[in-house]
Amino acid sequence: MRFRLLKRNLLALLGVSFVVVTLLFSTRVLIVSEEVGGGDTSGSGPRGHRPVRSDGPVRFNFGSQSELTQSVYSANYRQCVHNADKFPGEPQLVLVVQVHNRPEYLKLLIKSLEKAAEVHSFLLIFSHDYFSEEINTIVQGIRFCKVLQIYFPFSTQLYPSEFPGQDPRDCPRDMSKVDALKTGCLNAAHPDSYGHYREAFITQTKHHWWWKLHFVFERVQAMQGYSGFAVFLEEDNYILPDFSHFYKSMIELRKSRCSDCDLLALGNHNGVTDFSRLTNKVLTTGWMSTKHNIGMAISREVYYKLMGCSNDYCTYDDYNWDWTVQHLSGTCIAKPLKVLAAQGSRVLHTGDCGLHQKENCRPEWASQKVEESLQTAKEGLFPSSLVLTGVESAEHKAHMKNGGWGDIRDHILCKNYAKRL
């Protein structure tokens, strides 16, 4: 009898303990959620509150979707700048890298950054839409300049079976609208211009780019007071050693020869072809997606122009951010965007696979190609001055939109990034 009583009391005690621990944990999560702004679509926390500086990076918890999501919001709120004590003062150049899940290419980019002249004065901002211990370890291993990581809080990784991920109740991509309406799938009324329904992995890049643009210019505390351009890169880019030197030269030339240039393009897609002849040559022209979307430098003034076109960006039926920006140039932005563009590219594209090609990625080939390109470019680096060799008028270049962005849910989410600023 005594054993049964003890057993019953022990079970009751364990039950009470479980309830108390659960309540304590729930209360703690609620408090932390309020502190980090769990409902804020910017992913940065309550409006008007300065982020809490932590002594170290946020420890990511990959135990569950909710814990991973909490880690993302906490990191965006705290904004821990790595190496800030080692490299005090305002940054001289800000580079923003959009990162997905190609760690070998990311390592190549970081290797190029480490070799770049004046890198100690950089602030590197890595914007992630895929979260892993491997990628965090790679980025947090950087010791040569200040580093900030920000995390896209509407990644498909965080929403694997609901919007903005792929909901199993969504319409299949190639289902006809007639059949979709009959079946009652979630987005039956909103195919794209070509009759196709959304694919989450296709829409994510455009979402991430727009969110990142807002977050960098509106939320990143380390950018306050910075008046220079922010240079936008991707994980499969590789910068040449004189990147900073060339950027400064472009800034000086812009002051004297192209004060109305909106953007800088430090890269192009020609690699190092004829680099020794083109190394110090630049031209002015209208911004074009296929030419100027690599190593693109954006000022705060141009950011505000783009932000004023949030509705147009978010509803234009093209899943590519760069083609969408080209559409805005000369439509919503009345005066077409003018760019000062390098003819000798300071940014190489190393990726041999991407959004549409997932197989047969060979980063070791990219590494070999980079080494060959560096040898080719070596003699032409660090030109003493730049020469403006062409002045073309900036005109609106219409194109056929690519679709993939017809779902009204994408439109609403995209516009909400700006509304919550």
Which pLDDT value is given to residue 418?
84
Query: Is 59 one of the annotated binding-site residues?
Result: no
* Mean pLDDT, residues 101-108: 95
Which pLDDT value is given to residue 41?
47
How many domains are contained in the chain? 1
Residue-wise pLDDT for 298-341, tens only, equals 999 999 999 999 999 999 999 999 999 999 999 999 999 999 99
CATH of the domain at 119: 3.90.550.10
* Mean pLDDT, residues 124-146: 97
| Reported confidence tier of residue 420, pLDDT bands at 50, 70, 90 | low
Task: Return the percentage of the chain with pLDDT > 70, whole number.
Answer: 84
Angle in degrees, CA 41, 44, 49, rounded to 5: 120
Structural domain contains residue 405: yes
* Mean pLDDT, residues 110-116: 97
| Reported confidence tier of residue 23, pLDDT bands at 50, 70, 90 | very low
Query: Is 206 one of the annotated binding-site residues?
Result: yes
Which pLDDT value is given to residue 360?
59
| Reported confidence tier of residue 11, pLDDT bands at 50, 70, 90 | very low
3-class secondary structure per residue, the chain: CHHHHHHHHHHHHHHHHHHHHHHHHHHHHHHHHHHHCCCCCCCCCCCCCCCCCCCCCCCCCCCCHHHHHHHHHHHHHHCCEECCCCCCCCCCEEEEEEECCCHHHHHHHHHHHHHCCCHHHEEEEEEECCCCHHHHHHHHCCCCCEEEEEECCCCCCCCCCCCCCCCCCCCCCCCCHHHHHHHCCCCCCCCCCCCCCCCHHHHHHHHHHHHHHHHHHHCCHHHCCCCCCEEEEECCEEECCCHHHHHHHHHHHHHHHCCCCCEEECCCCCCCCCHHHHCCEEEEEECCHHHHCCCEEECHHHHHHHHCCHHHHHHCCECCHHHHHHHHECCCECCCCEEEEECCCCEEECCCCCCCCCCCCCHHHHHHHHHHHHHHHHHHCCCCCCEEEEECCCCCCCCCCCECCCCHHHHHHHHHHHHCC
- Give the amino acid at 408: I
Structural domain contains residue 217: yes
Query: Is 282 one of the annotated binding-site residues?
Result: no
Query: Is 129 one of the annotated binding-site residues?
Result: yes
- Which one has a higher pLDDT value, 216 or 45? 216
Which pLDDT value is given to residue 56?
67
* Mean pLDDT, residues 37-61: 52
Query: Is 317 one of the annotated binding-site residues?
Result: no
* Mean pLDDT, residues 154-168: 97
Q: Tell me which residue range forms the domain holding 270.
A: 77-159+195-353+363-419
Structural domain contains residue 46: no
Query: Is 399 one of the annotated binding-site residues?
Result: no
Residue-wise pLDDT for 367-391, tens only, equals 899 999 999 999 999 999 999 999 9
Which pLDDT value is given to residue 9?
46
Which pLDDT value is given to residue 359?
57
Average model confidence (pLDDT) across the chain: 87
* Mean pLDDT, residues 392-408: 91
Going from the C-alpha of 56 to that of each of 53, 59, 60, 84, 349, the distances in angstroms are 9, 9, 12, 11, 33
Query: Is 236 one of the annotated binding-site residues?
Result: yes
- Which one has a higher pLDDT value, 30 or 97? 97
Q: Which residues, in sequence order, are bridge partners of residue 281?
A: 387
- Residue 110, CA atoms < 13 Å, CB-side half-sphere: 23
Structural domain contains residue 311: yes
* Mean pLDDT, residues 351-380: 78
Which pLDDT value is given to residue 393?
84
Cα–Cα dist 40/32, whole Å:
13
| Reported confidence tier of residue 256, pLDDT bands at 50, 70, 90 | very high
**Picking from 57-61, 99-103, 234-238, 341-345, which range would have the lowest pLDDT averaged per residue?**
57-61
Query: Is 99 one of the annotated binding-site residues?
Result: yes
Query: Is 208 one of the annotated binding-site residues?
Result: yes
Which pLDDT value is given to residue 356?
45
Token pair in block for residue 341:
């563009």
Angle in degrees, CA 142, 144, 150, rounded to 5: 45
Which pLDDT value is given to residue 178?
98
- Which one has a higher pLDDT value, 367 or 43? 367
Which pLDDT value is given to residue 63?
87
- pLDDT above 70 (res 232): yes
Which pLDDT value is given to residue 49?
38
| Reported confidence tier of residue 364, pLDDT bands at 50, 70, 90 | confident
**Picking from 14-23, 90-99, 242-251, 397-406, which range would have the lowest pLDDT averaged per residue?**
14-23
Which pLDDT value is given to residue 7?
44
